[in-house]
């Protein structure tokens, strides 16, 4: 069974463009994993993400298996991710540092509450778990979690310490995560007193800084940084147009599918994402032209229905949001621009709309903001209109 599976795995890797060296290395990892799996109890011999996590974080550190048995965790993780994907399993998510069983049990209960009671998305829950796990580890170490020992001074101290290590926005998420955890404990009847007020609210003036965006000249430099004579350049350019013309989020670009484009009406259909609402956006001519050029002359032949796919091994599989970020980061570097990041292109899309005369309500609709207050920051980039409402300096004429 293992030999047949290893043969299928090698064929799978070869078909997706992995080099012979990578095929050999990944097959050695898979053989090591399968040999270890065969020694587990019959009810634990399933090839799935939990088994891989145990192999990575429990077996590898103490491994005494005979060679060849690659032990570099990053390489082993990459190989076993491919094995999971081949078998139709979900790839591994980043793992937070391990905590005590008592802390992990509490975090698991908290996560269930966030999912079933609060209805939060997986990405949001990941951050909540991360910060609560860090707080509990600092409070209880390897010992049991005793809810009665959670005191206001411990909450204040944790937030204050983190405020010196993280940006204001991240500290705000941390503080909100702690309040969410305290509400969970109250919901469960384990915390009689309401301690949410003890969690400090870090100062964060969201409308203070101007949102970073590119000028027309800088945007032209960025477009020139893509080599549209190559398939990869066409893909990366099309992704950048989606970000800068439509204001899409990075994960929204990665999630686009072929069926999302209505070429007859010139409409792009967005599936529910961060805002949990589907949306329809008009497809500007430059964006449509970039997408059409990529689909005709750049996209590899693949059964995947994803719009943007990998051009390097594994060829033809859906491009992850890290692929989008990497493509934009490299383009910024080639263009010699001092900034980097997909969010700058989203800000650029908003700034161009405002400076072109669009109302904040229209900008909010295009960016799919749930509150107009989130969009209000872009009023600061409309300098001509702001100059009309500016009061003259007293004592002198302008």
Report the 3 state secondary structure along 141-208. CCCCCCHHHCCHHHHHHHHHHHHCCCCHHHHHHHHHHHHHHHHHHHHCCCCCCCCHHHCCCCCCCCCC
Task: Establish whether 343 is a catalytic residue.
Answer: yes
Enumerate the β-bridge partners of residue 349. Answer: none
State how far the Cα of 89 lies from the Cα of 315, in Å rounded to an integer.
18
pLDDT at position 266 is 94
State how far the Cα of 94 lies from the Cα of 89, in Å rounded to an integer.
16
Which residue in 249, 311, 352, 368 is the catalytic one? 249
Which residue in 115, 321, 330, 343 is the catalytic one? 343
- DSSP conformation letters of 214-263: --HHHHHHHHHTS-TTSHHHHHHHHHHHHHHHH---HHHHHH-BGGGEET
pLDDT at position 293 is 97
Is the four-CA dihedral 354, 356, 362, 367 of positive or negative sign? negative
Mind listing the pLDDT tens digit of every residue in the chain (398 residues)? Answer: 567 888 888 888 888 888 888 888 898 899 898 888 888 877 777 888 878 888 888 888 888 887 777 778 888 888 898 888 887 755 555 555 556 788 988 999 999 999 999 988 777 888 899 899 999 999 998 889 999 999 999 999 999 988 877 777 788 889 999 999 999 999 999 998 899 999 998 775 555 555 678 889 999 999 999 999 999 999 999 999 999 998 888 989 999 999 999 999 999 998 876 555 678 889 999 999 999 999 999 999 999 999 999 998 888 889 988 899 999 999 999 999 887 778 889 888 888 877 666 666 766 666 666 655 555 555 555 545 544 444 455 555 44
The number of residues in the chain equals: 398
Task: Establish whether 378 is a catalytic residue.
Answer: yes
Task: Establish whether 346 is a catalytic residue.
Answer: yes
C-alpha distances out from residue 344 to 166, 171, 210, 360, Å: 20, 22, 12, 18
Write out the two tokens for 203.
């100062």
Quote the pTM value.
0.58
Task: Establish whether 347 is a catalytic residue.
Answer: no
Task: Establish whether 127 is a catalytic residue.
Answer: no
Which residue in 73, 274, 276, 329 is the catalytic one? 274
Task: Check residue 258 and give left, alpha or beta (phi > 0: left; psi -120 to 50: alpha).
Answer: alpha
Task: Establish whether 257 is a catalytic residue.
Answer: no
């Amino acid at each position: 069974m293992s030999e047949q599976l290893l043969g299928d795995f090698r064929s799978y890797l070869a078909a997706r463009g992995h080099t012979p060296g990578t095929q050999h290395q990944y097959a050695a990892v898979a053989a090591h994993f399968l040999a270890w799996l065969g020694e587990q109890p019959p009810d634990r011999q399933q090839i799935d993400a939990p088994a891989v996590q145990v192999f990575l974080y429990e077996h590898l550190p103490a491994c005494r298996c005979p060679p060849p048995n690659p032990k570099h965790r990053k390489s082993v993780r990459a190989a076993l991710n491919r094995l999971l994907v081949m078998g139709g399993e979900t790839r591994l998510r980043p793992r937070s540092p391990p905590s005590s069983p008592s802390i992990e049990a509490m975090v698991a209960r908290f996560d269930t509450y966030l999912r079933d009671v609060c209805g939060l998305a997986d990405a949001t829950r990941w951050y909540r778990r991360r910060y609560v796990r860090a707080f509990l580890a600092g409070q209880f170490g390897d010992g049991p979690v005793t809810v009665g020992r959670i005191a206001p001074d411990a909450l204040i101290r944790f937030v204050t310490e983190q405020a010196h290590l993280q940006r204001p926005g991240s500290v705000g998420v941390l503080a909100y995560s702690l309040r969410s955890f305290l509400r969970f404990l109250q919901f469960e009847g384990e915390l009689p007193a309401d301690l949410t007020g003890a969690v400090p609210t870090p100062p964060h003036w969201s409308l203070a800084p101007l949102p970073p965006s590119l000028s027309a000249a800088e945007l032209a430099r960025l477009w020139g940084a893509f080599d549209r004579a190559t398939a990869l350049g066409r893909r990366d350019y099309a992704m950048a147009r989606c970000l800068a013309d439509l204001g899409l989020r990075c994960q929204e670009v990665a999630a686009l599918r072929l069926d999302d484009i209505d070429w007859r009406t010139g409409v792009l259909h967005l599936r529910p994402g961060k805002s949990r609402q589907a949306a329809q956006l008009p497809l500007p001519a430059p964006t449509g032209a970039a997408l059409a050029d990529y689909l005709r002359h750049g996209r590899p032949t693949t059964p995947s229905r994803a719009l943007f796919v990998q051009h390097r091994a594994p060829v033809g599989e859906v491009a992850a949001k890290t692929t989008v970020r990497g493509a934009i980061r490299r383009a910024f570097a080639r263009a010699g621009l001092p900034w980097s990041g997909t969010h700058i292109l989203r800000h650029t899309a908003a700034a161009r709309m405002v400076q072109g005369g669009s109302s904040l309500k229209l900008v909010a609709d295009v960016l799919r903001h749930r509150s107009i207050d989130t969009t209000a920051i872009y009023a600061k980039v409309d300098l001509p209109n702001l100059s009309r409402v500016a009061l003259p300096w007293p004592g002198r004429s302008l």
